[in-house]
Structure 1
Amino acid sequence: MTLFHAGDTIINGHQPFVYAVCPEYTVDYCSYCLQPIHPNDNCEESVLSCPQCRFSRYCSAQCWEYGSKDHEYICTLVTSLPDNTEIQTDLLLLAKILRKLEYGNFYDASENINSCPKPNKQPRSFFDLISHKQEIHKDVSRMAELETWYTTVADVLEPSLEHVLAFTCTNQNLSLTRPKREVTFGDPFDLFVDIMGKLQCNAFSILDGFLNKVAEGLYLEASVFDHACGSARNAHYFFDGTGLYVKAFKDIQSFSDVRISYVDCFVPPLIRQHKLQNRYYFACRCRMCADPETVSEIFAIKCGTPGCGGTVPLPGLANADHDDNVSSKGEILKDKRSDQEVVLTEKNLVACSKCQLCPTLSMVLESRALTEDHLLMHTEICLSSEDADADKKLFSTETGSFAENRRHLECYEMMLADEIDLLHSTNFLRGLTFEAAGRWYLALPHSRPNTVKALEYLLESLKAQRKFFSKNDPTIALLLIDIADLQKQCDQTQSASATMEEARDILNTVENRDSPCLSLASKILQDLH
């Protein structure tokens, strides 16, 4: 029995337990409703800014009135910090959490619970959240960071931590899902680490309508959803102000089967696994990461038969999916689960999906070596940037010098020259390289040749992303919007219209009707017609 069909709403406008605008955006976004603050809204500075801290700003007198009730702890924290202290969003959230816990408010709002279609309608507590405190204590760099933060805020927040600590020792109903020992804390610092761990592992980046991060929030009900990559995920979350929405874009059998993505998925697999391990302390075992057959298909190579065009799964990519159970070297595949070595020969190669002929062993070995080398190059470029979320964020005029970006582009062009002859058009690595190069061309000064090149590369990347993601995945819709815009600039009106219609149809499934992305797609379609 299917509980959710594609397009169904799973969570409808849930409000956060706590939230805070990122410090770098407090000038631009209202600290209460998270809507943009326009210059003409700021005519009464004394009303729209907190007169004490000058940190939080509001778009209207009404937002200031509502927001000031929750601002006291933020104000105290900000005004008490030493000069030149970098304010962290997590510390702002910590202050708001302590305010709630001090007043015994540790359950989710009743309207969130009643509107959530989970089988068990029991309220979810802040103390139900996993903190991975044991793993954090083993994480030397994270513990050093937390100790520094604690020293900075101890004078301001330690009394509140002690008050909450005493409360947890006497209250027996902090959590309905976790044992009492897991919600018992030794001292204020232990409680501080637990709260910061809960934030690290459960907080959502709150995005505006064009997917720009403006705030962070803790949503107790939505924190139950597990992660999956690519087409293994089946739901998409988005925001309208502070409200969180989760919609299915595939049929889902039960509430426990809902899967969202915690990180950007169309990135080098080692980057994806690195971010999941470092922030959430787990290695993803979804089929896109851990199923050998699926991984082999994602990294398919071309069939060697002239004129065939079929796909040949590429076996033995230990480094491609960060699989701890399989290692490869030359013609030897070793399964660590059985400790048996399997020699890769002509006899155990996988046949082409179309002509049923097998490639040569030398072609498979060459393709595998190239794939592992190029994935490593992608990973190194990502890690060398300030933002290792995705290659597509590297190539902008705001990241690195022009010479450095030119070097990266030359590296990608070199990789493409090798990949085009061996890798199938739906190959993940090939799509990754094409998108990285295409995004770089988009960041160059506008010119007809750069636009044409960017369009060519993003169209090639689309073939691989259609293989990696589900057909209604919003990632595909956003790429289609970029492609349609480039097609329009290249005077390909008919193609742009068809591309934008597909993007609009996807967004109709996964977004609300008043979504800015959907409105943009509809407006561009009107202009094209």
Structure 2
Amino acid sequence: MSDSEEMRIVKEIPQGGIILEEKPFVYILCSKFRTERCDFCLKKGQLSKCSVCQYTYYCGRACQKEGWSVHKLECQYLKQIRPRILPDAARMLARLIKILEKGGHNTRSFYSDKKYRKFKDLMSHYPNLKNDNPRMEHFSSLYGVLYEFFRGESLPNSAELMGMFGRMCVNSFSICNQELQSVGTGIYLAASIVDHSCQPTAVVTFEGTTLIMRALETLPSLNWSKIFISYIDVMASKKERQLELEQTYYFTCQCPKCINPEPVIYMMGAACPNSDCDNCIDSASVQSNDTCSKCGSVITGEFIQTFWDVMEMTCTHLDSMKETIFLDVCKVCLKKQKGVFYKYNVKHIKTLDLAFDSSIEFAKYDDAVEYGLQLVKCFHEYYGTYHPLTGLLHLKLAKLLLYQNRPGEAMGYLKSAKDILSVTHGTSSSLFKEQLVPLFQDIMLEGESW
């Protein structure tokens, strides 16, 4: 190894520095955005249909031309099934089949000067898949859809196709816009080398379809054994996180957050019945006539029953609002939770978060500010300071407070957003340049200083 190569490997990566930047090996736009976003760049804009299949939409001739190398592999088949919509997983697998047929097996994505990954290097978890009944049922239905889609053309044999399906399931990234809304799905060969941790050292964001991985802390060198991202939302108990990781990725997490004791008590905790006390009551072990360890208030059987009734109602409504959020339902849940759930109870925070987003959507800005201000400490508690969601929350609050003619408070949250998003997204990101900087200029017009 030359001296220059050695220097490149041991060079320090600063906090917010780019670890990896990569284009997808294969990707799709979520079908629910098919008529709203460009099939190539995934951005919103004035769109026009592909004149052949009239299925895909593009924001201009440049994107249509760039996307043709992949779209030509599916265009005739999409035309044949019109007006039906191909399920996202089926379209992803169909593209994968055709790309591999055309030599995609030889594509190499580098994660260092000389090291790279090919599609075959991704883990398929074939034995796990065989024993995963829900995924096997999904695979069987996809096989039927693809057989019809390709009009009887020969598909890969079942073992080969299942290997593709397994690699797709376990290695896909959700492609998000700058506000972390999922707009597509992609496989990134080099990025797939990074392992999971519930206490990540790196974060992934996207510029269009380009994956950008940044360091959340200063890294002394490019050591991939020390670089971790989170595959899941870490705002959950250890039991919930590990169950999701085992069901989706087939491993048991051994990160410090999972090995060491965690404050499970307050994650699912009850509030003290004494409204003047801020103590958390362990909902899992509290018994009737127990007392609060801090103020001595008696925990009645009625209070315990109320807690579990509200918990059941909240979980039911949270499950029902995975696709569509109902602000009135969120408000009912929050009213029931008041004085019953501890302030850092995960289900309470998730309800607050849905209410916050829904209030913005329905232009209920006073409500949004109220919910957002409560969320700030909660997000810092679970996500830490340098997390995209924490930064976006500060940015949204700055916008809302400026709208309410509270520029001084808005500037405070905007400064926090700047500090966080410069690490998670970078100062050259479209989010930073198109949203944060203009908002700073708007506040400056109100006479405030940076």
TM-score between both structures, scaled by the size of structure 2:
0.80
In the alignment, what sits opposite 1:23? 31
CA distance in 2, matches of 1:59, 1:438: 31
- Report deviation, 1:239: 1.5
In the alignment, what sits opposite 2:137? 144
CA distance in 1, matches of 2:44, 2:328: 35
| Cα displacement string for residues 15-74 of structure 1 (whole angstroms, at most 9, x for unaligned residues) | 1111222233333333333343425xx4xxxxxx43331223333333333322222321
CA distance in 2, matches of 1:25, 1:488: 31
Select which of 173, 177, 200 maps to 1:233.
200
CA, structure 1 residues 137+158, in 2 after alignment: closer, same or farther (shift >3 Å)? farther
Q: Is residue 380 from structure 1 mapped to residue 320 from structure 2 by the alignment?
A: no
CA distance in 1, matches of 2:339, 2:361: 22
Residue pair 1:268, 1:378 contacting (<8 A) in 2 also: no
CA distance in 1, matches of 2:67, 2:299: 63
1:28-39 → structure 2 map (5 Å cutoff): 28-38=36-46
CA, structure 1 residues 97+55, in 2 after alignment: closer, same or farther (shift >3 Å)? same
In the alignment, what sits opposite 1:340? none
Q: Is residue 522 from structure 1 mapped to residue 437 from structure 2 by the alignment?
A: yes
- Report deviation, 1:302: 7.7
1:87-166 → structure 2 map (5 Å cutoff): 87-109=86-108, 112-113=109-110, 116-117=111-112, 121-154=114-147, 156=150, 159=153, 161-162=155-156
CA, structure 1 residues 472+369, in 2 after alignment: closer, same or farther (shift >3 Å)? farther
Select which of 321, 332, 340 maps to 1:410.
332
| Cα displacement string for residues 147-198 of structure 1 (whole angstroms, at most 9, x for unaligned residues) | 2221232262875544xxxxxxxxxxxxxxxxxxxxxxxxx12222221221
CA distance in 2, matches of 1:306, 1:408: 22
Structure 2: gaps spanning 5 or more residues: 1-9, 445-450
Structure 1 counterpart of 2:337, one-letter code: M
CA distance in 2, matches of 1:429, 1:153: 39
In the alignment, what sits opposite 1:11? 20
Select which of 492, 498, 520 maps to 2:406.
492
In the alignment, what sits opposite 1:192? 161
CA distance in 1, matches of 2:391, 2:78: 40
Residue pair 2:330, 2:351 contacting (<8 A) in 1 also: no
Select which of 227, 251, 257 maps to 2:218.
251
CA distance in 1, matches of 2:37, 2:25: 19
Select which of 168, 178, 181 maps to 1:209.
178
1:244-323 → structure 2 map (5 Å cutoff): 244-252=211-219, 254-266=223-235, 275-282=244-251, 284=253, 286-288=255-257, 291-296=260-265
- Report deviation, 1:127: 1.6
CA, structure 1 residues 427+28, in 2 after alignment: closer, same or farther (shift >3 Å)? closer
Tell me the SS of whatever aligns to 1:293.
coil
CA distance in 2, matches of 1:473, 1:270: 22
Q: Is residue 50 from structure 1 mapped to residue 50 from structure 2 by the alignment?
A: yes
CA, structure 1 residues 303+29, in 2 after alignment: closer, same or farther (shift >3 Å)? closer
Residue pair 1:94, 1:195 contacting (<8 A) in 2 also: yes
Tell me the SS of whatever aligns to 2:175.
strand
CA distance in 1, matches of 2:127, 2:352: 41
In the alignment, what sits opposite 2:376? 462
Tell me the SS of whatever aligns to 1:524.
helix
CA, structure 1 residues 442+365, in 2 after alignment: closer, same or farther (shift >3 Å)? farther
Structure 2 counterpart of 1:260, one-letter code: I
Tell me the SS of whatever aligns to 2:135.
helix
Structure 1: gaps spanning 5 or more residues: 43-48, 163-187, 318-327, 332-344, 350-356, 388-392, 396-404
Residue pair 2:334, 2:348 contacting (<8 A) in 1 also: no
- Report deviation, 1:136: 2.8
Tell me the SS of whatever aligns to 1:216.
strand
CA, structure 1 residues 298+367, in 2 after alignment: closer, same or farther (shift >3 Å)? farther
| Cα displacement string for residues 183-233 of structure 1 (whole angstroms, at most 9, x for unaligned residues) | xxxxx122222212211111112223333333221101111223334xx12
Residue pair 2:94, 2:146 contacting (<8 A) in 1 also: no
Aligned-residue sequence identity (percent) comes to 24
Residue pair 2:24, 2:187 contacting (<8 A) in 1 also: yes
Structure 1 counterpart of 2:370, one-letter code: E
CA distance in 1, matches of 2:206, 2:331: 34
- Report deviation, 1:271: 6.7
Residue pair 2:14, 2:218 contacting (<8 A) in 1 also: yes
- Report deviation, 1:498: 1.0
Structure 2 counterpart of 1:478, one-letter code: L
Structure 1 counterpart of 2:33, one-letter code: Y
Residue pair 2:73, 2:98 contacting (<8 A) in 1 also: yes
Residue pair 2:315, 2:347 contacting (<8 A) in 1 also: no
Residue pair 1:416, 1:434 contacting (<8 A) in 2 also: no
Tell me the SS of whatever aligns to 2:28.
strand
Tell me the SS of whatever aligns to 1:417.
coil
- Report deviation, 1:291: 3.5
Alpha-carbon RMSD across the aligned residues, in angstroms, is: 3.8
Tell me the SS of whatever aligns to 1:70.
helix
TM-score between both structures, scaled by the size of structure 1:
0.69
CA, structure 1 residues 439+97, in 2 after alignment: closer, same or farther (shift >3 Å)? closer
In the alignment, what sits opposite 1:69? 69
CA, structure 1 residues 385+243, in 2 after alignment: closer, same or farther (shift >3 Å)? same
Tell me the SS of whatever aligns to 1:456.
helix
CA, structure 1 residues 359+77, in 2 after alignment: closer, same or farther (shift >3 Å)? farther
CA distance in 2, matches of 1:367, 1:506: 40
Residue pair 1:90, 1:196 contacting (<8 A) in 2 also: no
> Greater shift after overlay, 297-306 or 93-102?
297-306
